[in-house]
Structure 1
């Protein structure tokens, strides 16, 4: 994803608007355009295949608007189902491990048991397995209703239309008729549905988030419900947490480490395993205190956080949380007033802990979120909003090892008690909105956007 960091995505507004974007053989395409461009300067390309050698479809925005042609989605007939006695074909099917498209890695037995145990604990009645075929077959064996949505057409030989549909999770496209899936989503009054998605780690998080929201809308429409969120387990590496929070800020990361059987590094066995265990985690909108992590696999209960956490995750009284994410025991840095990885070193110029000494401060600061205004692209000593709010800003910009708001060295701007004199903050579904009191600005911390408010 690093090479595309300056790209934006324009997605379909609704799952049925197939005429808004042109279609390639893999369903409706996505409009790509650079940060410095307008959407009209962009182009449509395949949502599933990022490699043009695998899908060469490309159409300029202006050319598509000139055609004004409605594209009908490719609805295929279901292949003939085989009578196969094997309860789990993933045990012998060769995994499709092309990282650009499939990246088909299968959960190990401990991960499968973890998901089944959470379903029973949360009283889940139906599970939508989106790109998690081995979990689907495991749940079938354990008498939990499941429907598999997957990009691998081989599963149609083992599963009927009542529990499988060939599906592109990057654009919410059903290659077969989706009526069987809609019947599965229709629930009785007390039935609970869970979506478990295990996308390729090269997928754009914007696309997966858009698909999850589309499935929520479909579920609510079928069951005549208001805007009711479905329970979600999104399997992704911990280092993608910021991307997920930008698109679905209501999701929190669970400390459980998931292992795959056919990946050399995303596992806790083998010579090439990672020192601190698999980096794969579960992001969920289910309150973390409701989940139970197995003590036999290295987890404990934190009385102060009131949730299960990894045994190496030591509670920080200052941060009021168990802050470790990568399997190491984090330490609290007094200078930047936050918990960091144990090997990080503090940079007084950046006012933060960094991975190494001698880094490019300008580049590093351009990727940080300001602790004052919440915008991305600068640190507090360069905050233009703060310079407009306070006469103290210029005098304290040179004092890098103190809070710029009050001058104290015991904390930083995020935790300053006088912060409310300059900013109003609002929390909603994991997202923080910051409004400067003396200026008509509102800033979104997670999305790093700023816009002027209309005058009252």
Structure 2
């Protein structure tokens, strides 16, 4: 009887496997990516999954961009030897994934299509190609969009169907109002060049408005944009491993762009489910490239806009400690929650802009925001300054209230619980969080009372009272349909 194949670990899935002792964690192991094997999305990342408290998980290589094995099947244990046969198969998969036309050939096609009338322009959504009416007969089984106006050629985000894979390249596009605000913020700090890592709507707005004295280069993993922009305006790029799909030629275009002009600003709108450790490494790499190309001192700062939800602020601050969150609520056109429509969040979008410059340099629209002289930054009109907390403490756009018992500002819907001795949601169960904290075991040493990041063993502190779990982590050999 054929044995059932064991379930494969997958690198980037943030799914948490619940055990009797608690939940497992997934660690990113930092190393020189040039020594890691490559998948179709560039150099892979080393991950380690801790399956239960006290178990030192086994390390494995997996895709940097995809958090679901359906999008990228790459998987290999770090401690297993890589055979030449396997390397050959991996390279075959990379070769098969390359587009049939180069970026320059696609740009030549764009120039040809632009000369035709709008009614004779066609976009094949199946093959992701611009066509003329004479070429339509070769794409009869495909889905064709006719006509393609100048507006659609200049704003391809209106033409392209947004991808919806929440674990790979989900595409949510800024609303027009948010685009205008971000452009105004860029102009306010005298930006003349903008590096858009993602953020296609920002790139489109800058390219379309040549009179604003700004130029833009977009780095994005979506290859479809190469049909609408020249190699000097768009580069296919993986923001989770700083990988340029078109090799050194594309990287040279990027380096030349960031080396020309003093007032360069970077804007990035990464997937909200991506690993912040990897994004922080990429931002650091871009910062270092900018310094090296312009011969800047180590203390020089490349201004960056990092767009992410406010409820991820603690994680952002952990990976990007020098960033500050602005109060502006970024709206999206096609997101079910982060929009100003009827289906959006009741308190407005949860997405904010994190910046690495003083927040007072970024004035927000006066119709919904005000300047707080004490905090020296622009805040939401409902974000009242608390003299006790010495700041405008609201995060979600509501007016927070100060709790004297807690000694801090809390959400207006929360009530102080005497049993928990803190403010909690009205429907909470008293002591539940504390009981979970006390019973949950550390995934590093297997002892209750602290988390893995606060573990004494991580901090180099020896504690003879700690007893590691006796259970051993079983190593499972995995097989792959494509890469094995």
Q: Which residue, out of 395, 408, 420, partners 1:325?
A: 395
How big is the shift at 1:208? 0.9
Equivalent residue, structure 2, for 1:49: 66
SS of 1:225 mapped into structure 2: coil
Equivalent residue, structure 2, for 1:28: 43
Q: Which residue, out of 261, 280, 287, partners 1:209?
A: 280
Distance 2:419 2:192 in 1: 53
How big is the shift at 1:11? 3.0
Q: Which residue, out of 160, 164, 178, partners 2:251?
A: 178
SS of 2:218 mapped into structure 1: strand
Equivalent residue, structure 2, for 1:163: 233
How big is the shift at 1:127? 0.8
How big is the shift at 1:220? 1.1
> Cα gap change, 1:97/1:362 in structure 2, threshold over 3 Å: closer, same or farther?
same
> Cα gap change, 1:53/1:160 in structure 2, threshold over 3 Å: closer, same or farther?
same
- Alpha carbons 1:163, 1:181 under 8 Å: kept: no
Normalised TM-score (structure 2): 0.71
SS of 2:162 mapped into structure 1: coil
Aligned residue pair count: 372
Distance 1:12 1:246 in 2: 19
Normalised TM-score (structure 1): 0.75
Equivalent residue, structure 2, for 1:396: none
Consecutive unaligned residues in structure 1, runs of 5 or more? 369-376, 384-443
Distance 2:242 2:370 in 1: 38
Equivalent residue, structure 2, for 1:6: 25
> Cα gap change, 1:2/1:55 in structure 2, threshold over 3 Å: closer, same or farther?
closer
How big is the shift at 1:347? 4.2
> Cα gap change, 1:347/1:28 in structure 2, threshold over 3 Å: closer, same or farther?
farther
- Alpha carbons 1:194, 1:230 under 8 Å: kept: yes
SS of 1:450 mapped into structure 2: coil
How big is the shift at 1:345? 3.1
What is the 5 A alignment of 1:36-435?
36-38=54-56, 41-64=58-81, 77-78=102-103, 79-81=105-107, 82-83=110-111, 84=114, 85=150, 86-143=153-210, 144-176=214-246, 177-188=250-261, 191-227=262-298, 228-269=300-341, 271-296=342-367, 298-348=368-418, 350-355=420-425, 356-359=427-430, 360-363=432-435, 365=437
How big is the shift at 1:352? 3.2
- Higher relative contact order (CA closer than 8 Å, sequence separation 6+): 2
How big is the shift at 1:110? 1.1
How big is the shift at 1:89? 1.1
Equivalent residue, structure 2, for 1:435: none
Report the structure number with the largest CA radius of gyration. Answer: 2
Deviations 1:91-114 (A, max 9, x none): 221111221111111111111111
SS of 1:99 mapped into structure 2: coil
Distance 2:37 2:280 in 1: 21
- Alpha carbons 1:11, 1:210 under 8 Å: kept: no
How big is the shift at 1:2? 5.8
- Alpha carbons 1:265, 1:274 under 8 Å: kept: yes
How big is the shift at 1:283? 1.0
- Alpha carbons 1:28, 1:173 under 8 Å: kept: yes
SS of 2:73 mapped into structure 1: coil
- Alpha carbons 1:260, 1:267 under 8 Å: kept: yes
> Cα gap change, 1:111/1:333 in structure 2, threshold over 3 Å: closer, same or farther?
same
Equivalent residue, structure 1, for 2:459: 450
Consecutive unaligned residues in structure 2, runs of 5 or more? 1-13, 18-23, 115-149, 441-446, 463-484
Distance 2:435 2:265 in 1: 41
How big is the shift at 1:354? 2.7
How big is the shift at 1:306? 1.8
How big is the shift at 1:244? 0.7
Deviations 1:17-37 (A, max 9, x none): 42x211111111111113555
- Alpha carbons 1:330, 1:339 under 8 Å: kept: yes
- Alpha carbons 1:350, 1:361 under 8 Å: kept: no
